[in-house]
């Protein structure tokens, strides 16, 4: 499969799954546009490193996915967007009565509304080019729920609904829109949940990983960023041209339970 000549924009890609997806798409030949809300030397160095390793064009564009205008500016600054991967996301864990309103607003903005804005900004260009692939990184929490993750679960269910709607709106065009639903992947987002969970359950790190996080993941293994990247690359390929408006779980069997 070659994605040569295509440009992929991956939101929230200076870390974790987004960076893994960018690396796999670049390996498949796509030019890549990395993004986050920061603008550091390290951010730009990541793009340079990918370009050097794969020979594709790679650049980093600062844009804050909590802001509608920045989401749309990212697509304009990318200079083309054949493959759009909405990946930026944050998490906060608290019982609903204690859940800070600001955290609710930020999670809905970054994990859900940003995808609405980037898709709205990108879809016309995809129509003109006669090719478009939209991949929303949802979660097993787009299909099931867990306590204390009200905003995250709401946003992820929301993005699955958005995925179905865009799949229908573009069904008769050479554009697809799908959601990838990872189970647990050991990224900074998950690392950050370990200390609080250790406190909450009075458990060691190893026990939290085995008995809390991977408890619902029947494979008892984390999914990897490379596996997520490979799934996105498949969805961008010709073989996936008739896959649209649906979800693909990469969750070690979580949602089969
Ligand atoms: P991560 O923290 O490593 O990466 C999140 C990325 O989003 C980072 O690049 C961060 O800079 C970026 N980001 C955060 N706020 C932003 C903003 N305002 N504007 C632009 N970028 C912003 O986490 P991750 O685990 O790689 O998560 C990536 C996506 O995968 C998220 O949508 C997350 O919900 C989803 N996901 C992760 C897991 C998991 O187990 N790690 C499971 C299911 C779904």
Ligand 1 center–CA 172 separation, angstroms: 31
The pLDDT of residue 178: 99
Let me know: does 7 contact 59? Beta carbons within 8 Å.
no
- The closest residue, in CA terms, to atom 9 on ligand 1 is 12
Report the pLDDT value the prediction gives residue 189, as an integer from 0 to 100.
Answer: 84
Cα(165)–Cα(1) distance, rounded to whole angstroms? 28
| pTM, full prediction | 0.97
| Nearest-angstrom CA–CA distance, 53 and 42 | 16
Ligand 1 pocket residue status of 37, Cβ below 6 Å: yes
pLDDT of residue 1: 67
- Residue keyed to tokens 């990395």: 34
Atom of ligand 1 at shortest distance to CA of 114?
A: 19
- Strands, E assignment, the chain: 7-10, 31-36, 58-62, 83-86, 132-137, 175-182, 247-250
What's the CA gap between 212 and 224, in Å, rounded? 18
Query: Which of 62, 152, 187, 190 best tests ligand 1's pocket when mutated (most atoms within 8 Å of CB)?
Result: 187
- pLDDT value for 30: 98
Domain with CATH 3.40.50.720 in the chain: 7-183+223-250
- pLDDT for res 166: 99
Can you tell me the distance from the alpha carbon of 137 to that of 130, in angstroms, rounded to the nearest whole number? 23
Q: Tell me what pLDDT residue 193 has.
A: 87
User: So which residues are the catalytic ones?
Assistant: 152
CATH number corresponding to 7-183+223-250: 3.40.50.720
Low-confidence stretches of the chain (pLDDT beneath 50): none
Task: Report which protein residue has its CA nearest ligand 1's atom 36.
Answer: 139
If one residue of 74, 89, 103 were mutated to test the ligand 1 pocket, choosing by the most ligand atoms within 8 A of its CB, it would be 89
């Amino acid at each position: 499969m070659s994605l040569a000549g295509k440009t992929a924009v991956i939101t929230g890609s200076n870390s974790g799954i987004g960076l893994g997806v960018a690396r796999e798409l670049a390996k498949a030949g796509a030019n890549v546009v990395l993004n986050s809300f920061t603008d550091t030397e390290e951010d730009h160095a990541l793009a340079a490193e990918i370009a050097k390793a794969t020979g594709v064009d790679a650049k980093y564009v600062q844009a804050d996915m909590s802001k509608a205008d920045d989401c749309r500016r990212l697509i304009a600054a990318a200079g083309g967007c054949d493959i759009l991967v909405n990946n930026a996301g944050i998490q906060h864990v608290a019982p609903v009565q204690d859940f800070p309103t600001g955290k609710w607003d930020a999670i809905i903005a970054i994990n859900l509304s940003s995808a609405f804005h980037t898709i709205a900004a990108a879809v016309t260009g995809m129509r003109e080019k006669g090719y478009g692939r939209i991949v929303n990184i949802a979660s097993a929490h787009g299909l099931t729920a867990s306590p204390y993750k009200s905003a995250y679960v709401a946003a992820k269910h929301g993005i699955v609904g958005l995925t179905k709607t865009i799949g229908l709106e573009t069904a008769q065009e050479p554009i697809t829109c799908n959601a990838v639903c990872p189970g647990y992947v050991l990224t900074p987002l998950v690392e950050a949940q370990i200390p609080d969970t250790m406190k909450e359950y009075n458990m060691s790190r190893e026990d939290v990983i085995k008995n809390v996080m991977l408890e619902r993941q029947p494979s008892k293994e984390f999914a990897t960023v490379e596996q997520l990247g490979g799934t996105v690359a498949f969805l961008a390929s010709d073989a996936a041209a008739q896959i649209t408006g649906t979800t693909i779980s990469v969750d070690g069997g979580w949602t089969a339970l």
